[in-house]
Protein backbone atom coordinates (compact mmCIF):
# COMPACT_ATOMS: atom_id res chain seq x y z
CA UNK A 1 0.00 0.00 0.00
CA UNK A 2 1.21 3.47 -0.77
CA UNK A 3 -0.01 6.31 1.42
CA UNK A 4 -0.02 9.76 -0.06
CA UNK A 5 0.43 12.83 2.13
CA UNK A 6 1.18 15.76 -0.12
CA UNK A 7 0.47 19.09 1.62
CA UNK A 8 -1.41 20.27 -1.46
CA UNK A 9 -4.00 17.58 -0.80
CA UNK A 10 -4.55 18.34 2.87
CA UNK A 11 -6.94 20.84 4.46
CA UNK A 12 -6.67 22.21 7.97
CA UNK A 13 -10.09 22.82 9.54
CA UNK A 14 -11.66 23.86 12.82
CA UNK A 15 -15.30 24.05 13.87
CA UNK A 16 -17.25 25.30 16.89
CA UNK A 17 -20.80 25.11 18.13
CA UNK A 18 -21.81 27.86 20.57
CA UNK A 19 -24.85 28.93 22.53
CA UNK A 20 -25.97 32.38 21.41
CA UNK A 21 -26.88 35.65 23.04
CA UNK A 22 -30.50 35.82 21.82
CA UNK A 23 -30.85 39.63 21.83
CA UNK A 24 -27.60 40.14 19.97
CA UNK A 25 -28.48 37.42 17.48
CA UNK A 26 -31.89 39.00 16.82
CA UNK A 27 -30.21 42.36 16.29
CA UNK A 28 -27.63 40.78 13.96
CA UNK A 29 -30.41 39.16 11.91
CA UNK A 30 -32.14 42.55 11.64
CA UNK A 31 -28.90 44.13 10.41
CA UNK A 32 -28.53 41.39 7.78
CA UNK A 33 -25.38 39.93 9.33
CA UNK A 34 -26.87 36.40 9.18
CA UNK A 35 -30.26 34.90 8.42
CA UNK A 36 -32.10 33.04 11.17
CA UNK A 37 -32.13 29.34 10.26
CA UNK A 38 -29.80 30.06 7.37
CA UNK A 39 -26.76 27.97 6.48
CA UNK A 40 -24.16 29.56 4.29
CA UNK A 41 -20.78 28.63 2.95
CA UNK A 42 -18.42 31.33 1.73
CA UNK A 43 -15.70 30.01 -0.55
CA UNK A 44 -12.39 31.53 -1.55
CA UNK A 45 -11.91 33.80 1.49
CA UNK A 46 -8.73 32.02 2.60
CA UNK A 47 -7.28 30.90 -0.74
CA UNK A 48 -8.76 29.07 -3.71
CA UNK A 49 -9.79 25.98 -1.77
CA UNK A 50 -11.32 27.37 1.40
CA UNK A 51 -14.64 27.62 3.15
CA UNK A 52 -16.23 29.59 5.93
CA UNK A 53 -19.39 27.66 6.77
CA UNK A 54 -21.87 29.20 9.15
CA UNK A 55 -25.24 28.46 10.70
CA UNK A 56 -27.44 30.39 13.10
CA UNK A 57 -30.67 29.20 14.73
CA UNK A 58 -32.35 31.52 17.19
CA UNK A 59 -34.99 28.85 18.00
CA UNK A 60 -32.31 26.27 18.87
CA UNK A 61 -30.19 28.95 20.57
CA UNK A 62 -27.05 27.87 18.70
CA UNK A 63 -24.54 29.15 16.18
CA UNK A 64 -21.98 27.04 14.32
CA UNK A 65 -18.90 27.96 12.35
CA UNK A 66 -16.36 25.92 10.43
CA UNK A 67 -13.30 27.35 8.70
CA UNK A 68 -11.10 25.21 6.47
CA UNK A 69 -8.35 25.90 3.98
CA UNK A 70 -5.49 24.14 2.23
CA UNK A 71 -2.44 23.62 4.36
CA UNK A 72 -0.11 24.25 1.43
CA UNK A 73 -1.59 27.72 0.86
CA UNK A 74 0.20 28.88 4.03
CA UNK A 75 -2.65 31.19 4.88
CA UNK A 76 -2.25 33.46 7.88
CA UNK A 77 -3.79 33.49 10.46
CA UNK A 78 -3.86 29.86 11.58
CA UNK A 79 -7.31 28.32 11.22
CA UNK A 80 -8.16 28.58 14.96
CA UNK A 81 -7.51 32.33 14.94
CA UNK A 82 -9.65 32.70 11.82
CA UNK A 83 -12.49 31.00 13.74
CA UNK A 84 -11.93 33.32 16.77
CA UNK A 85 -12.08 36.37 14.52
CA UNK A 86 -15.26 35.19 12.81
CA UNK A 87 -16.95 34.64 16.19
CA UNK A 88 -15.91 38.07 17.43
CA UNK A 89 -17.07 39.74 14.25
CA UNK A 90 -20.52 38.10 14.31
CA UNK A 91 -21.07 39.42 17.83
CA UNK A 92 -23.79 37.00 19.00
CA UNK A 93 -21.74 33.92 19.96
CA UNK A 94 -22.04 32.93 23.63
CA UNK A 95 -20.69 29.94 25.55
CA UNK A 96 -18.79 27.35 23.54
CA UNK A 97 -20.59 23.97 23.55
CA UNK A 98 -18.41 21.81 21.31
CA UNK A 99 -15.66 22.06 18.77
CA UNK A 100 -12.64 20.46 17.26
CA UNK A 101 -10.04 20.69 14.60
CA UNK A 102 -7.79 18.59 12.46
CA UNK A 103 -6.51 17.78 9.01
CA UNK A 104 -8.59 16.42 6.13
CA UNK A 105 -7.12 14.53 3.18
CA UNK A 106 -8.99 15.71 0.09
CA UNK A 107 -7.26 13.56 -2.54
CA UNK A 108 -8.87 10.62 -4.33
CA UNK A 109 -8.62 7.25 -2.58
CA UNK A 110 -5.54 5.09 -2.17
CA UNK A 111 -5.09 2.92 -5.26
CA UNK A 112 -4.60 -0.13 -3.08
CA UNK A 113 -6.79 -0.16 0.01
CA UNK A 114 -5.95 -3.66 1.26
CA UNK A 115 -2.88 -5.70 2.12
CA UNK A 116 -2.37 -9.05 3.83
CA UNK A 117 -4.39 -8.88 7.07
CA UNK A 118 -5.04 -5.15 6.66
CA UNK A 119 -7.68 -2.80 5.25
CA UNK A 120 -7.66 1.00 5.13
CA UNK A 121 -11.05 2.72 5.42
CA UNK A 122 -12.34 6.29 5.72
CA UNK A 123 -9.86 9.10 6.13
CA UNK A 124 -6.95 6.62 6.22
CA UNK A 125 -7.87 5.50 2.71
CA UNK A 126 -8.49 9.07 1.42
CA UNK A 127 -12.21 8.66 0.91
CA UNK A 128 -13.25 12.25 1.66
CA UNK A 129 -15.25 14.08 -1.04
CA UNK A 130 -12.42 16.02 -2.74
CA UNK A 131 -14.46 19.10 -3.65
CA UNK A 132 -15.66 19.90 -0.13
CA UNK A 133 -13.85 17.72 2.39
CA UNK A 134 -16.80 15.80 3.87
CA UNK A 135 -15.69 12.36 4.94
CA UNK A 136 -18.17 10.92 7.43
CA UNK A 137 -20.45 9.17 4.91
CA UNK A 138 -17.51 7.64 3.04
CA UNK A 139 -15.96 6.49 6.31
CA UNK A 140 -19.19 4.70 7.25
CA UNK A 141 -19.62 3.23 3.79
CA UNK A 142 -16.06 1.94 3.57
CA UNK A 143 -16.41 0.49 7.07
CA UNK A 144 -19.49 -1.42 5.95
CA UNK A 145 -17.92 -2.62 2.68
CA UNK A 146 -14.73 -3.65 4.48
CA UNK A 147 -16.75 -5.63 7.02
CA UNK A 148 -18.52 -7.47 4.19
CA UNK A 149 -15.14 -8.68 2.91
CA UNK A 150 -13.48 -9.11 6.29
CA UNK A 151 -16.20 -11.27 7.90
CA UNK A 152 -15.87 -14.23 5.47
CA UNK A 153 -12.08 -13.76 5.46
CA UNK A 154 -12.03 -14.15 9.25
CA UNK A 155 -14.41 -17.11 9.11
CA UNK A 156 -12.23 -19.00 6.67
CA UNK A 157 -8.95 -17.82 8.20
CA UNK A 158 -7.78 -16.42 4.85
CA UNK A 159 -7.11 -12.71 5.39
CA UNK A 160 -4.80 -12.34 2.39
CA UNK A 161 -4.89 -9.38 0.00
CA UNK A 162 -6.71 -11.61 -2.44
CA UNK A 163 -9.45 -12.48 0.09
CA UNK A 164 -9.94 -8.84 1.15
CA UNK A 165 -9.81 -7.46 -2.41
CA UNK A 166 -13.62 -7.48 -2.99
CA UNK A 167 -13.82 -4.53 -0.58
CA UNK A 168 -11.41 -2.46 -2.71
CA UNK A 169 -13.12 -3.48 -5.97
CA UNK A 170 -16.59 -2.66 -4.58
CA UNK A 171 -15.47 0.74 -3.38
CA UNK A 172 -13.37 1.80 -6.36
CA UNK A 173 -16.01 0.80 -8.91
CA UNK A 174 -18.73 2.57 -6.92
CA UNK A 175 -18.23 5.65 -4.77
CA UNK A 176 -14.47 5.71 -5.39
CA UNK A 177 -15.15 6.22 -9.07
CA UNK A 178 -17.34 9.28 -8.43
CA UNK A 179 -14.92 10.76 -5.91
CA UNK A 180 -12.00 10.30 -8.34
CA UNK A 181 -14.03 12.29 -10.88
CA UNK A 182 -14.54 15.01 -8.24
CA UNK A 183 -10.80 15.05 -7.69
CA UNK A 184 -10.36 15.92 -11.37
CA UNK A 185 -12.69 18.90 -10.77
CA UNK A 186 -10.78 19.94 -7.66
CA UNK A 187 -7.45 19.80 -9.44
CA UNK A 188 -8.78 21.87 -12.32
CA UNK A 189 -9.99 24.58 -9.91
CA UNK A 190 -6.67 24.36 -8.02
CA UNK A 191 -4.65 25.03 -11.13
CA UNK A 192 -6.40 28.21 -12.24
CA UNK A 193 -3.96 31.06 -11.80
CA UNK A 194 -5.36 34.31 -10.42
CA UNK A 195 -9.01 33.21 -10.23
CA UNK A 196 -10.29 31.87 -6.96
CA UNK A 197 -13.18 29.52 -6.39
CA UNK A 198 -15.33 32.42 -5.11
CA UNK A 199 -15.10 34.16 -8.47
CA UNK A 200 -16.09 30.94 -10.27
CA UNK A 201 -19.31 30.90 -8.24
CA UNK A 202 -19.94 34.65 -8.56
CA UNK A 203 -19.44 34.66 -12.31
CA UNK A 204 -21.81 31.72 -12.80
CA UNK A 205 -19.23 29.31 -14.27
CA UNK A 206 -19.89 27.04 -11.32
CA UNK A 207 -23.64 26.48 -11.22
CA UNK A 208 -25.79 25.46 -8.25
CA UNK A 209 -26.28 22.13 -10.05
CA UNK A 210 -22.53 21.51 -9.59
CA UNK A 211 -22.83 22.30 -5.89
CA UNK A 212 -25.78 19.92 -5.49
CA UNK A 213 -23.93 17.14 -7.29
CA UNK A 214 -21.00 17.66 -4.93
CA UNK A 215 -23.14 17.62 -1.81
CA UNK A 216 -25.22 14.62 -2.93
CA UNK A 217 -22.13 12.87 -4.38
CA UNK A 218 -23.67 12.46 -7.82
CA UNK A 219 -21.45 12.07 -10.87
CA UNK A 220 -20.07 15.50 -11.85
CA UNK A 221 -21.11 16.65 -15.30
CA UNK A 222 -22.53 19.49 -17.30
CA UNK A 223 -26.32 19.50 -17.54
CA UNK A 224 -27.14 21.19 -20.90
CA UNK A 225 -29.98 23.08 -19.16
CA UNK A 226 -27.39 24.97 -17.08
CA UNK A 227 -25.32 26.08 -20.05
CA UNK A 228 -27.05 29.42 -20.74
CA UNK A 229 -26.50 30.74 -17.22
CA UNK A 230 -22.80 29.82 -17.38
CA UNK A 231 -22.13 31.78 -20.57
CA UNK A 232 -21.65 35.26 -18.97
CA UNK A 233 -19.02 33.80 -16.63
CA UNK A 234 -17.24 32.06 -19.48
CA UNK A 235 -17.19 35.29 -21.47
CA UNK A 236 -15.66 37.01 -18.44
CA UNK A 237 -13.03 34.27 -18.15
CA UNK A 238 -12.54 32.89 -21.68
CA UNK A 239 -9.30 31.13 -20.64
CA UNK A 240 -11.51 28.85 -18.57
CA UNK A 241 -13.22 27.31 -21.60
CA UNK A 242 -10.38 25.01 -22.75
CA UNK A 243 -9.75 24.08 -19.11
CA UNK A 244 -13.37 23.08 -18.62
CA UNK A 245 -13.38 21.07 -21.86
CA UNK A 246 -10.15 19.31 -20.83
CA UNK A 247 -11.57 18.64 -17.38
CA UNK A 248 -14.73 17.12 -18.92
CA UNK A 249 -12.68 14.79 -21.12
CA UNK A 250 -10.35 13.74 -18.30
CA UNK A 251 -13.30 13.19 -16.01
CA UNK A 252 -14.91 10.78 -18.46
CA UNK A 253 -11.63 8.87 -18.91
CA UNK A 254 -11.11 8.66 -15.14
CA UNK A 255 -14.61 7.31 -14.58
CA UNK A 256 -14.21 4.73 -17.32
CA UNK A 257 -10.85 3.75 -15.83
CA UNK A 258 -12.25 3.24 -12.33
CA UNK A 259 -15.00 1.05 -13.81
CA UNK A 260 -12.13 -1.23 -14.90
CA UNK A 261 -10.61 -1.53 -11.42
CA UNK A 262 -9.55 -5.21 -11.19
CA UNK A 263 -12.28 -7.38 -9.71
CA UNK A 264 -9.72 -9.88 -8.40
CA UNK A 265 -6.25 -9.29 -7.00
CA UNK A 266 -3.71 -9.76 -9.72
CA UNK A 267 -0.50 -7.78 -9.07
CA UNK A 268 0.24 -7.34 -12.78
CA UNK A 269 -3.29 -6.20 -13.69
CA UNK A 270 -3.41 -3.92 -10.66
CA UNK A 271 0.03 -2.46 -11.48
CA UNK A 272 -1.11 -1.66 -15.02
CA UNK A 273 -4.32 -0.10 -13.68
CA UNK A 274 -2.36 2.06 -11.20
CA UNK A 275 0.11 3.20 -13.89
CA UNK A 276 -2.71 4.30 -16.14
CA UNK A 277 -4.46 6.07 -13.26
CA UNK A 278 -1.27 8.01 -12.49
CA UNK A 279 -1.02 8.98 -16.13
CA UNK A 280 -4.63 10.23 -16.17
CA UNK A 281 -4.03 12.34 -13.07
CA UNK A 282 -0.69 13.57 -14.39
CA UNK A 283 1.13 12.10 -11.39
CA UNK A 284 4.67 10.79 -11.14
CA UNK A 285 5.24 7.31 -9.78
CA UNK A 286 5.87 7.55 -6.00
C1 LIG B 1 -13.01 20.43 11.78
C2 LIG B 1 -13.51 19.34 10.90
C3 LIG B 1 -14.83 19.38 10.48
C4 LIG B 1 -15.34 18.38 9.65
N5 LIG B 1 -16.64 18.46 9.26
C6 LIG B 1 -17.16 17.47 8.52
C7 LIG B 1 -18.55 17.49 8.18
O8 LIG B 1 -19.31 18.41 8.53
N9 LIG B 1 -19.04 16.47 7.46
C10 LIG B 1 -18.25 15.43 7.05
O11 LIG B 1 -18.75 14.51 6.39
N12 LIG B 1 -16.93 15.39 7.35
C13 LIG B 1 -16.37 16.38 8.09
N14 LIG B 1 -15.03 16.33 8.41
C15 LIG B 1 -14.22 15.19 7.95
C16 LIG B 1 -14.55 13.98 8.82
O17 LIG B 1 -14.45 14.33 10.18
C18 LIG B 1 -13.59 12.81 8.53
O19 LIG B 1 -13.46 12.60 7.15
C20 LIG B 1 -14.15 11.55 9.19
O21 LIG B 1 -14.27 11.75 10.58
C22 LIG B 1 -13.24 10.36 8.90
O23 LIG B 1 -13.71 9.26 9.65
P24 LIG B 1 -12.71 8.11 10.05
O25 LIG B 1 -13.51 7.15 10.87
O26 LIG B 1 -12.05 7.59 8.82
O27 LIG B 1 -11.56 8.78 10.90
P28 LIG B 1 -11.65 9.54 12.27
O29 LIG B 1 -13.00 10.14 12.49
O30 LIG B 1 -10.45 10.43 12.31
O31 LIG B 1 -11.52 8.37 13.32
C32 LIG B 1 -10.29 7.72 13.56
C33 LIG B 1 -10.25 7.37 15.02
O34 LIG B 1 -9.10 6.55 15.28
C35 LIG B 1 -8.53 6.96 16.48
N36 LIG B 1 -7.12 6.53 16.45
C37 LIG B 1 -6.08 7.07 15.78
N38 LIG B 1 -4.96 6.41 16.00
C39 LIG B 1 -5.28 5.40 16.82
C40 LIG B 1 -4.53 4.34 17.42
N41 LIG B 1 -3.22 4.18 17.18
N42 LIG B 1 -5.18 3.48 18.21
C43 LIG B 1 -6.51 3.60 18.46
N44 LIG B 1 -7.27 4.59 17.93
C45 LIG B 1 -6.65 5.47 17.13
C46 LIG B 1 -8.71 8.47 16.50
O47 LIG B 1 -8.62 8.96 17.80
C48 LIG B 1 -10.12 8.59 15.92
O49 LIG B 1 -11.10 8.53 16.91
C50 LIG B 1 -14.50 17.32 9.23
C51 LIG B 1 -13.17 17.27 9.65
C52 LIG B 1 -12.68 18.28 10.47
C53 LIG B 1 -11.25 18.22 10.93
Domain residue ranges in the chain: 11-104
Mean of pLDDT values over 136-160: 97
What's the 275 CA to ligand 1 centre distance in angstroms?
30
Helical packing angle, 175-190 and 240-258, nearest 10°: 160
Residues of the chain with pLDDT > 90: what percent? Answer: 77
Read off the pLDDT of residues 57-96 as tens digits, 9 standing for 90 and up: 999 999 999 999 998 877 778 999 999 999 999 999 999 9
pTM beyond 0.85: the answer is yes
Adjacent-strand bridge partners of 55: 39, 64
| CB 245 less than 6 A from any atom of ligand 1 | no
What's the 12 CA to ligand 1 centre distance in angstroms?
13
| CB 80 less than 6 A from any atom of ligand 1 | no
| CB 129 less than 6 A from any atom of ligand 1 | no
| CB 136 less than 6 A from any atom of ligand 1 | yes
Mean of pLDDT values over 23-31: 97
CB 80 within 8 A of CB 15: no
Read off the pLDDT of residues 241-273 as tens digits, 9 standing for 90 and up: 898 899 999 999 999 999 999 999 999 999 999
Read off the pLDDT of residues 198-208 as tens digits, 9 standing for 90 and up: 788 888 999 99
Bigger pLDDT: 190 or 146? 146
| CB 234 less than 6 A from any atom of ligand 1 | no
**Rounded CA separation 181/269 (Å):** 22
Read off the pLDDT of residues 118-132 as tens digits, 9 standing for 90 and up: 999 999 999 999 999
Q: Distance between the two ends of the chain, CA-based, in angstroms?
A: 11
Amino acid sequence: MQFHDDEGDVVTAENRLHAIDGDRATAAVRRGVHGDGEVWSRVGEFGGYSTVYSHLSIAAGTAYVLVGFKRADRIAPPVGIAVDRFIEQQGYYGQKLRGGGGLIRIRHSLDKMVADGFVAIGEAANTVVPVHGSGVASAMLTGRLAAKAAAPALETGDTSTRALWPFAADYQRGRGRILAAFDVVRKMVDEIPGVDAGELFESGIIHRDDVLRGILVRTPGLDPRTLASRIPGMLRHPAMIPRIVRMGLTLKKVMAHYARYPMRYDPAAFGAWADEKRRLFGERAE
